[in-house]
């Protein structure tokens, strides 16, 4: 479910024709740059009603990393 919602976010912000999987890399596969990644994270925060710290943001390399942070922050109550 999270992956499908993230696919919608990616489709809104980037041009990516491949299958989005937890292994999809933000920079190498999606072509996201230093401007795109914060926009994607902000959209994910709004979609899932969570907050991702700047420290956590720096650790995000793949869609799976983002899913893990969303799960962690949802369990912690945002």
pLDDT tens digits, residue range 23-69? 999 999 999 998 999 999 999 999 999 999 999 988 999 999 999 99
CA distance 47 to 25: 20
Catalytic residue status for 33: yes
The pLDDT assigned to 7 comes to: 95
The tokens describing 77, both together, are: 């109550």
Of 19, 29, 33, 54, catalytic: 33
Of the candidates 39, 47, 57, which has an alpha carbon nearest to the alpha carbon of residue 78? 47
Give the chain's domains with CATH numbers: 2-75 (1.10.1200.10)
Which residues, including other chains, have CB under 8 Å from residue 21's CB and lie 6 or more apart? 3, 63, 64
Q: Say if pTM beats, i.e. exceeds, 0.85.
A: yes
Radius of gyration of the chain (CA): 11
> Cβ(44)–Cβ(52) under 8 Å?
yes
């Amino acid at each position: 479910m999270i992956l499908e919602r993230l696919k919608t976010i990616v489709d809104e912000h980037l041009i990516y024709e491949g299958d989005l999987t937890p292994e999809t890399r933000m920079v190498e596969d999606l072509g996201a740059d230093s401007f795109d990644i914060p926009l994607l994270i902000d959209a994910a925060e709004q979609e899932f009603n969570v907050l991702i710290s700047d420290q956590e943001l720096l650790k995000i390399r793949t869609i799976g990393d983002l899913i893990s942070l969303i799960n962690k922050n949802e369990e912690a109550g945002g």
